Amino acid sequence: MSQIETKPDVLEREPEEWETPGAGWGQEQAPAQQQAPAQQAEEELPFSFEEAPRPKADLSQARLLATEPRPAGFGEVLVTDAWARPAPKEPKAPEKQPDIWQGQAPAEIPDRQKQWETRQELRELGLLRERPMTSLDARFETYWKQVEDATGAAPIAIIDPYTHLAAEFGDVDLETLREHRLASREYGRDGDALLALGRAYWAIGRHKGARGVLATAAKTEPLHPAIWYNLGVVQLLSRANKSAREALEQAVDQAPGDFRSELALALACYHQRDYAAAEEQFRRLAGSSGLRATARSMLACSRRMQGNWDDARVELGFLKDAKPGDWGAMSQQCLDCVERGEQKLIGPLRARRRGGQMWRALAASMAGGVWIAYGLTQDLFKHQAQWAAIPLFVLALLVIRSLRRISGRELPGEFGNAEQGLICWQATSWMRPRQSEF
């Protein structure tokens, strides 16, 4: 019998003898060194833990620059966001026009208020992704210079007044901080040295020290309008509104006609909810370009807060043609806010919402009564009082929340905030800032 030749098992072969799936029958196999040159190249590259540099945001296309206080630990920190326009929607296929003569109903016009309610619900649930182009915060000493550079790099953006106030500290020279500190200890020190020291303290985050130094400078030279102005600005950005208004009134009295001081004073009046005084101040500053356009938007908001709906609409009609910036979209958003406020306070929307909240409060009260009766019959409040009181606490919160809405008082989320990149800095960011988790 002839011996049958057997091939060695595939698993017993050397790695160089394995056939590759891409090789044809009878073709010569390539050496292992020629098969994976890319793999060797990757192994030879050194490994690095450094993060790849992120692309710098193109602020020339920014839609809005807005500054607001945000919770940071047990305090707050200023944050400046640069917002872009929302991504363009995908074009839809052209719909066939309805034939009225054949009984087809015309297409419905989209309800802007319903669209706002939908977006607001998604916002509150955290399902609406809205992220700024870039975000700067005052925890770093370079923040003030970065804000100043951002205002110059965004020629077509709407810039809120708080960003302009923060950008004014971009010229602070921190290298001379030690010299100013030594000069402040000398006898007979002048107000300019204290002013420079207070601005430097504010730039490095020593806010309490900055307010103290500037207050001392105001006592040293009470007729120095720049000292009063800077004192008022740091108090305004610290949300010490009453002290800010008093300091800024001194600055305006000593330098009448100064646009910066009058704008900051108008903001301080608005923060105190003295909308009549704020309206008087903003009326003198309102215009159709730059900061004067932001003053007109604040003027319209002041009238809206007083219930002067028609006067607010008139100002917003002038605002839609302001340049530079997408003021047309901003004025439309504010018009929707005016309409929403009027309907809630004097229109059918008020009655509908109050009726719904009354039913909710009644249902929560009845549920609480049922739970109390059940707990008394089962002796839950005697044996398990700590657990039995939890549902009552939750129901009490629901009743309190419903009573707040029955009163007709407008809630923070009901102002502005329609489209991405057009946050409501007039009535939301500073008037109702975010609360700290603590």
pLDDT: which is higher, 16 or 266 = 266
Contact of 334 with 416, CB cutoff 8 Å: yes
Which segment of 1-5, 59-63, 286-290, 341-345 scores lowest on mean pLDDT? 1-5
Determine the pLDDT at residue 346: 72
Give me the mean pLDDT over the 396-422 stretch.
Answer: 68
pLDDT-derived band of residue 328, with 50, 70 and 90 as boundaries?
Answer: very high
pLDDT: which is higher, 129 or 77 = 77
Give me the mean pLDDT over the 242-247 stretch.
Answer: 96
- Sheet harboring 134-137: ordered strands across? 134-137, 75-83, 64-72, 158-159
Which segment of 178-187, 235-244, 416-425 scores lowest on mean pLDDT? 178-187
pLDDT-derived band of residue 396, with 50, 70 and 90 as boundaries?
Answer: confident
Structure tokens at 140: 């770093």
Give me the mean pLDDT over the 56-74 stretch.
Answer: 88
Residue type, 252: V
Give me the mean pLDDT over the 4-30 stretch.
Answer: 42
Give me the mean pLDDT over the 180-189 stretch.
Answer: 64
Helix (H) or strand (E) holding 136: strand 134-137
Give me the mean pLDDT over the 248-274 stretch.
Answer: 95
Give me the mean pLDDT over the 386-393 stretch.
Answer: 70
Residue type, 312: A
DSSP of 86-116:
PPPPPPPPPPPPP-GGGTPPPPPPP-HHHHH
Q: Do 172 and 149 reside in the same domain of the chain?
A: yes
pLDDT-derived band of residue 20, with 50, 70 and 90 as boundaries?
Answer: very low
Which segment of 12-26, 122-136, 360-374 scores lowest on mean pLDDT? 12-26
pLDDT-derived band of residue 260, with 50, 70 and 90 as boundaries?
Answer: very high
Q: Do 126 and 245 reside in the same domain of the chain?
A: yes
Q: Do 153 and 190 reside in the same domain of the chain?
A: yes
Give the CA radius of gyration of the chain.
32
Domain membership of residue 429 as a residue range? 61-84+111-272+424-438
Determine the pLDDT at residue 156: 92
pLDDT-derived band of residue 45, with 50, 70 and 90 as boundaries?
Answer: very low
Q: Is 320's pLDDT higher than 70?
A: yes
What domain count does the chain have? Answer: 2
Determine the pLDDT at residue 432: 80
The CA distance from 6 to 13, in Å, is: 14
Residue 52: other Cβ atoms inside 10 A: 6
The CA distance from 213 to 373, in Å, is: 62
pLDDT-derived band of residue 359, with 50, 70 and 90 as boundaries?
Answer: low
Q: Has residue 242 been placed in a domain?
A: yes
Q: Has residue 327 been placed in a domain?
A: no
Q: Do 122 and 154 reside in the same domain of the chain?
A: yes
CA-nearest of 199, 233, 226, 203 to 213 is: 199
Contact of 240 with 210, CB cutoff 8 Å: no
Q: pLDDT tens for residues 227-242?
A: 999 999 999 999 999 9
pLDDT: which is higher, 174 or 314 = 314
Instruction: Give phi and psi for 79, each to the nearest 5.
Output: -130, 130
Q: Has residue 18 been placed in a domain?
A: no
Determine the pLDDT at residue 73: 78
The CA distance from 395 to 32, in Å, is: 72
Q: Is 29's pLDDT higher than 50?
A: no
Q: Do 264 and 362 reside in the same domain of the chain?
A: no
DSSP label of 85: P
Q: Has residue 316 been placed in a domain?
A: no
Q: Do 139 and 165 reside in the same domain of the chain?
A: yes
Q: Has residue 337 been placed in a domain?
A: no
Q: Do 69 and 162 reside in the same domain of the chain?
A: yes
Q: Do 401 and 436 reside in the same domain of the chain?
A: no
Mean pLDDT taken over the chain: 78
SS3 236: helix
SS3 231: helix
Determine the pLDDT at residue 38: 44
Residue 344: other Cβ atoms inside 10 A: 21
Q: Is 323's pLDDT higher than 80?
A: yes
Q: Has residue 38 been placed in a domain?
A: no
Q: Do 434 and 404 reside in the same domain of the chain?
A: no
Q: Do 408 and 430 reside in the same domain of the chain?
A: no
Q: Is 209's pLDDT higher than 70?
A: yes
Q: Do 367 and 438 reside in the same domain of the chain?
A: no
What letters, b where the CB count within 10 A reaches 16 and e where it falls short, cover 368-398?
beeebeebeeeebeeeeeeebeeeeeebeeb
Contact of 196 with 168, CB cutoff 8 Å: no
Q: Give residue for tokens 């319903």.
A: 114
Of the segments 31-35, 68-72, 113-117, 249-253, which one has the largest average pLDDT value? 249-253
Do the strands 158-159 and 75-83 form a parallel or antiparallel pair, or are they unpaired? unpaired
Q: Do 378 and 267 reside in the same domain of the chain?
A: no
The residues that bridge with 136 in the sheet, in sequence order, are 80
Q: Has residue 218 been placed in a domain?
A: yes
DSSP label of 417: -
In degrees, rounded to 5, the angle at the alpha carbon of residue 97 between the alpha carbons of residues 96 and 98 is 115
Q: Has residue 9 been placed in a domain?
A: no
pLDDT: which is higher, 200 or 123 = 200
User: What CATH number is associated with residue 115?
Assistant: 1.25.40.10
Which segment of 94-98, 279-283, 289-293 scores lowest on mean pLDDT? 94-98
